[in-house]
Amino acid sequence: MFSINQSLDQWDLRVVYCHGNKKECQKLPSKRVLVYKNKKICVIVPAYNEGTQIAGVIETMPDFVDAVVVIDDASSDDTVRVVKELQQGRADLFLIEHEQNQGCGGAVITGYEWAAKQDFEVVVRMDGDGQMNPEDLSALIDPVAAGAADFAKGNRFFSGKAYEVMPKLRFLGTAFLSLLTKIVSGYWHLSDFQSGYVAISKKALETVDWQQMYKRYGQPNDQLILLNVYNFRVQDVPVDPVYHVGEVSGIKIKKVMFTLGWLLVKQFFWGLKEKYIIRDFHPLVFFYAMGLSLGGMSLLLFVRVFYIWAASGNIPTINAFAAFSSFIAAAQFTLFAMWFDMEANKHSMRVHYWQICVCFGRSSHYLGYF
């Protein structure tokens, strides 16, 4: 809490109510407000061979960040040397070195576990490749620090710029994987699930067993599946897509599509078991079971129809009718299961908080929220 010493004849206090991405402004009669900078903020920076990029990431970190910890994932370049040079004269910059490469997810796990032990209230992940704009950091932290969300995630698709600046194959692959992750994670209101620019609350940080999280590409998707099992609230925050700043990507989209697709299939059944059977039984399990069973049956029936058609030139009428009927029934059961899942996860969409700003003439200054 703090008070504004200037006369209220000159300063105009206003509060902005935020619900999702909609904002409404109202005048605030009180002088006393909360600011999120009273929260302890930590930024973890996973880095692998980012010697040319890491200095720019660290040097542009906003002043309100209390600690920056770089997790070097066994880099073979001069990443460690650059970070150690930047540590000179700074008490807020830390370096953790992996002896063996563990993947980006492994570096994130190390960062999360370190931050949890240091008792930070909000922890942000910002990669060391310079593709995450530090100007978006405040917006990412806001809903988490306000207690309106347990986890905030950057979304590069909101502005429409992503299609223009992202490599087209990566854009299409990201869009497709986002659709699959909606179904698997239960966060139907989110998009751009491959975004690693995130902020997480202390409660979520301490609740989830991060050693269960996938350590390679696909970690952002698996992270959301873990969070949904614990019913944590997640919000999308618009961020700028940043490309062509000297980053070097080692991701092979065609290979990743199969690897991540298989991961999502496995995690789909794991999530159903953990959330809707073990923790709180929900009838949507029966709908998914019927949908999958009838889907498999319809596939076998369609194979038989085409086999007989190819062998004899005749389409078996009853077989074809059974195949189409089972397919339609499978689609209906599956869609109802998805609808039940959306209803069960409605709580995760209710994100609202108050932003407070001071207006002086035509200028305004953001102060915080509650």
What is the per-residue pLDDT across 270-298, written as a single tens digit (0 to 9) for each?
999 999 999 989 999 999 999 999 999 99
Contact 130, 246 (CB under 8 A): yes
Domain identity same for 92 and 9: no
Return the biggest CA–CA distance within the chain. Answer: 92
Mean pLDDT throughout 93-101? 94
Question: Which of 276, 305, 324 finishes a domain?
Answer: 276
**In terms of Cα–Cα distance, which of 53, 51, 89, 54 is closest to 70?**
54
Angle separating helix axes 168-185 and 219-229, nearest 10 degrees: 20
> Which residue's entry shows tokens 């709180």?
280
Do 49 and 187 have their domain in common?
Answer: yes
Whether residue 58 is found in the same domain as residue 197: yes
Two tokens, residue 255 = 């290979």
With 80 as the cut, is the pLDDT of residue 302 above it?
A: yes
Position 160, amino acid: G
CATH number for the domain spanning 65: value is 3.90.550.10
pLDDT for res 252: 61
- Same domain membership, residue 263 and residue 236: yes
Question: Residues 64, 112: one domain?
Answer: yes
Give yes or no: residues 199 and 51 share one domain.
yes
Calculate the alpha carbon distances from 133 to 49, 55, 154, 165 in Å.
19, 14, 10, 14
pLDDT confidence band for 176 (50 / 70 / 90): confident
**Confidence grade of residue 349 (pLDDT, cut at 50, 70, 90):** low
CA triple 278-281-285, angle to 5 deg: 100
**Cα–Cα–Cα angle for 198, 218, 148, nearest 5°?**
25
Number of domains in the chain: 2
| Percent of the chain residues topping a pLDDT of 70 | 78
Looking at the structure, do residues 27 and 106 belong to the same domain, yes or no?
no
Q: What is the rounded (10 degree) CA torsion for 27, 31, 32, 38?
A: 80
Could you tell me if 204 and 85 lie in one domain? Answer: yes
Mean pLDDT of 179-192: 90
Averaged pLDDT, 88-95: 92
Domain-terminating residue out of 249, 276, 303? 276
pLDDT score, position 187: 93
Do 252 and 294 lie in one domain? The reply is no
User: Which residues span the domain enclosing 351?
Assistant: 1-33+282-370
Give the model's pLDDT for residue 37: 53
Phi, psi of 179 (to 5 degrees): -60, -45
Query: Residue for token digits 């909101």?
Result: 158
* pLDDT confidence of residue 165: 66
| Mean pLDDT taken over the chain | 82
Same domain as 202, residue 102: yes
Same domain, yes or no, for 222 and 184? yes
Three-class SS state of 130: coil
The amino acid sitting at 207 is: T
| 126 and 82 assigned to the same domain | yes
